[in-house]
Structure 1
Amino acid sequence: MPSFKVLKGTGRANVSRFSFETFDLESSRECGLKSSEASSPPEDSAEAAAKNPLDELEELVRLRLLEAERRAEELEREAYQKGYEQGQRDGYAFGASAVEKVRERLDTLATSLEQMHQQVLREYRHWLLEAALTLSRHLLTAAVGINPKVLESLVDHILEQMDRSQAITIVLHPNDRDLLEKHGVLERWLSPPPLGQSPFRVTVDSSIQRGGCRVESALQEIDALVETRLENLREVLFSHAS
């Protein structure tokens, strides 16, 4: 007995007979190829489908990064060159300014030194002259003690200015007299004078400083003492220094 129950049924349906058709292998192959060609996409579409959008994005990003890096290097080089050139200009300007300041300071210093030189001369000229005169006195005294020609030349020059028709007396320091006598100068002076000239006479005075003398006659008197000669020199020097 069947295990199912028919609830609703129909009459006998038209039934057709089933049978296998004849299968042609060549036709089947052609149909398969046509079906494959129809179902496969075009070659270009396949290649386009094969490309990954993420790969294209990655390549684009890489190219942009390379371009940005190249541009950054260019900007860095430009900035360095501009900075170098600006540094040169600033350095030259700073150096020129420093040189100008140094020149101004040197000019100021030179002016002050010149003024100081004049001031020193004004303040110390008298002292310098007195020191020079004092030194001259000592040098003259020392020279007379070594070389009698110093005093001999002085007396000969004075005698040329004297009136030789009058008797002449020469007053010397005792040591100067001995020195002149030792070197034969007195012998020449005291020898008989030429016709028409009066004889010489030599006396001594210990108050006279060595290197000086007095020459006297009835008509003339010449003071050639060291003090007198230095005083005359002082007056000349101080008159030019004022």
Structure 2
Amino acid sequence: MLLMPSTSSKPAVAHASNLASLLLFIYAITFSYAYVLLDTATGALILFAAVQISMMLISYIQGHRLNQLEILGALVAFGGFGYLVWPSVGVTNGELSITGMVLMVISGCAWGGYTLLGKGATRPLFTTGVNFILTLPLVLLMILTVWLIQVFTPVENNISVQLSGKGVLLAILSGGLASSIGYALWYQALRGLHSTQAAVLQLSVPIIAALGGVIFVGEQLSVHLIMCASIILFGISLVILTKPKSTIKKEVL
């Protein structure tokens, strides 16, 4: 069904879906290539910093002003996250890749934008499905680009790209199924959060992942993890439980 010009919100929703799919693609592709150049902890630290800063900056531009407890809570939560990953932060192949850092910053900003666009989604599962479908032309273009680079790269510098049936299947299941369900649930949760809460709440993801490793994989529950989880959750609670400041009204000229 074609969208006809009108004064309703439908064209805006369609535009947001196109923009969201672009941001989703940018997030995924830059994230993937960044982690080829960065270790896990360094990449996570850069990614989450970019997400928090981009979302809070956009929120500020939109008129939301943080109160003192929200600022304190955000700093405490991110400090706890930094303390969690800091022992593992290091260099890959003897040097810290500037290219990897830039790609991860772009990835974090793209995810921040994608998250904020999801606050207006009334049907999270449908919206997420449309966003994933709209990324398919970009994915095909990327595959074609990689293939052309491989074909025209000199033999001595050529990097062979091989695909296996199992690898493709796992990529579809993890990216197209598991990730899409997770993103749809995140869009659903966003409906009850303001931008700052959504930004800071994402710092709980590493804690949930770490606890999942303890429960399902048998990893050790260390004092370091307990301390970091406590700091992060305390910071998040300050932001979540704080009554947000009213949006500053524009002055009438």
Provide TM-score, normalisation by structure 2: 0.19
Indicate the structure whose relative CO is greater, using CA pairs within 8 Å and at least 6 residues apart: 2
Higher helix share: 2
Q: Which has the larger radius of gyration?
A: 1
